Amino acid sequence: MASVDTSTRYLGLHLRHPFMAGASPMSAHLDGVRQLEDAGSAAIVLHSLFEEQITEAQSGRIHGMDPADDPVFAARLAPFPRSSDYPFEPEEHFEYLRKVKAAVSIPVIASLNGVPSGRAWLSAARQMEQAGADALEVNFYEVVTNPALPAASVENHIIRAVTELKRSIRIPLAIKLSPFFTAFANIATRLDEVGADGLVMFNRFYQPDIDLETSRAIPVLELSRSDELRLRLRWLAILHGRVRASLALTGGVATGSDGVKGILAGAHVVQSVSAVLRHGASFLSTAVEELVAWMEQHQCATVEEMRGRVSLLSSADPSSFERANYIRTLHHWGR
C-alpha cells in the first residue's frame, strides 16, 4: 500500500494514478486491453476509428477525394489502406468498444482520428457514446499543404468541429493536437472556451524518409525516445493553470521519471505507447512505482500537490521567460 496518494482527475474521471496506455494497436484486441488493465493502466485509449473509414463506409468515397470532382482520384486513393486493412469496419469498431467495456473495469476512452466534418463524423461520436465510451479523444492529425489555406481558417475549422462535437455528445471530449500552430496557447485557450474537456499534447508526425536506391518515399515509424519529451514539458508548463481543460502528456515518455517530469510540468495524466510497445504493459506498473518512489523521496503526499510545481503559472510573462532561457542556453555552450 503506497504511503502517498497517486490519484488524479482527468476529463472528470477519477483515476488511481496518472499512467495510462495511449491509442495503439495493443488496444485493438481484447487480450491486449486485459493485459493493460492487469498491468495497472489507469484508463485506456482505444485505437482510432479513422475519418477515412467513416466516410468510405458511408459513401464509398474518402472525404475530399470525390471521383466526380477529381480526375486523378484513383491515383490519390492508391496510398490509402483498403477498408479490409483496418482492424475493424466502423460498425465492428462500435461493437468492439462494447466488448472492451464489458471486459475491463477501468475507464475506456474511444478515439476518432482525422479532420472532422459532416454528419457521419458526429454520428460516429454518438455511437461511441452509446457503446459505453467513458470519454472521446479526437485526434486532429493533419498536415495542411494547401498554400491558399490561411492558419486562421484551419483553426476556425477545428473550433467549429469541437463546438459541434460538444453539442452532439455528453461524454467528456479530449482533443489531441499537433504542436505546429503559430500561437499554440491561443488555439488551446479557444478549445478550452468552446468546452474541450482535455488537451492531449502532442501528436507525433511520422515523416517519410527517402530510399536512395529506388528514389521513393518510404514510410518510417520509429518509436519515440525521451528527447521528444521536452517540447511537451514546455507546453504543459505554459498551459498549466491557464486552461480549465485537463492536460494529457503523450509523446516521449520512455521512463517513469519522464512521466514524473510531465506531472511536475502540469500533466493530469501521462499516456504511453512507445514504451509499452518496447517493454510490454508492465512498463505502466514500473512507472507508477517510480512515481511513488519520487513522491516519498520528495515528501509529496499527493499528485495534486506536485502537479504544475515546475510550471510557468507564477510567471507574469511566460514568453519572456522562454526568451531569457533561450539566450541563457546559448551562452552556456562550452562553459
Ligand X SMILES: Cc1cc2nc3c(=O)[nH]c(=O)nc-3n(C[C@H](O)[C@H](O)[C@H](O)COP(=O)(O)O)c2cc1C
The verdict on 41 binding ligand X (CB under 6 A) reads no
Q: State in angstroms the smallest separation of the CB of 89 from ligand X.
A: 15
Question: Of 178-186, 270-278, 295-303, 327-335, which part binds ligand X (CB under 6 A)?
Answer: 270-278
- Shortest Å, Cβ 20 to ligand X: 11
Pick the binder of ligand X from 63, 176, 234, 307 (CB under 6 A): 176
Q: Which is nearer to ligand X, 4 or 196 (CB)?
A: 196
Instruction: Identify which of residues 4 and 39 has a Cβ nearer to ligand X in the complex.
Output: 39
Which of 22-30, 177-185, 288-296, 327-335 is the region at the interface with ligand X (rule: CB under 6 A)? 22-30
Give dist(CA 246, CA 13) in Å, integer. Answer: 10
Residue 55 binds to ligand X (criterion: CB under 6 A): no
Residue of the chain from 272, 288, 291, 318 that contacts ligand X (CB under 6 A): 272
Does residue 47 bind ligand X (CB under 6 A)? yes
Residue with smaller CB distance to ligand X, 8 or 111: 111
* Cβ 105 to ligand X shortest distance, Å: 22
Query: What string of H, E and C letters represents the secondary structure of the chain?
Result: CCCCECCEEECCEEECCCEEECCCHHHHCHHHHHHHHHCCCCCEECCCEEHHHHHHHHHCCECCECCCCCCCHHHHHCCCCCHHHCCCCHHHHHHHHHHHHHHCCCCEEEEEECCCCCHHHHHHHHHHHHCCCCEEEEECCCCCCCCCCCHHHHHHHHHHHHHHHHHHCCCCEEEEECCCCCCHHHHHHHHHHCCCCEEEECCCCCCCEEECCCCEEECCCCCCCHHHHHHHHHHHHHHCCCCCCEEEEECCCCCHHHHHHHHHHCCCEEEECHHHHHHCCHHHHHHHHHHHHHHHHCCCCEHHHHCCCCCCCCCCCHHHHHHHHHHHHHHCCCC
**Closer by beta carbon to ligand X, 39 or else 253:** 253
CB of 309 to ligand X, least distance (A): 23
Number of shown-chain residues binding ligand X (CB under 6 A): 20
CB of 276 to ligand X, least distance (A): 7
For residues 110 to 139, the per-residue mask of contacts with ligand X, x marking binding by CB under 6 A and - elsewhere, is -x-x-------------------------x
Q: Binder to ligand X among 187, 273, 291, 295 (CB under 6 A)?
A: 273
Contact 267, 18 (CB under 8 A): yes
Using rule CB under 6 A, residue 312 touches ligand X = no
Interaction of residue 48 with ligand X, rule CB under 6 A? yes
Compute CA distances 286 → 42, 61, 107, 199, 258, whole Å: 13, 45, 20, 25, 12
Task: Closer to ligand X by CB, 222 or 317: give it.
Answer: 222
Q: How far apart are CA 58 and CA 293, in angstroms?
A: 51
Distance of closest approach, residue 225 Cβ to ligand X, in angstroms: 8
Chain positions 210 to 269 lying near ligand X, rule: CB under 6 A, are: 224, 250-253
Site of interaction with ligand X (CB under 6 A):
22-25, 47-48, 111, 113, 139, 176, 204, 224, 250-253, 272-275
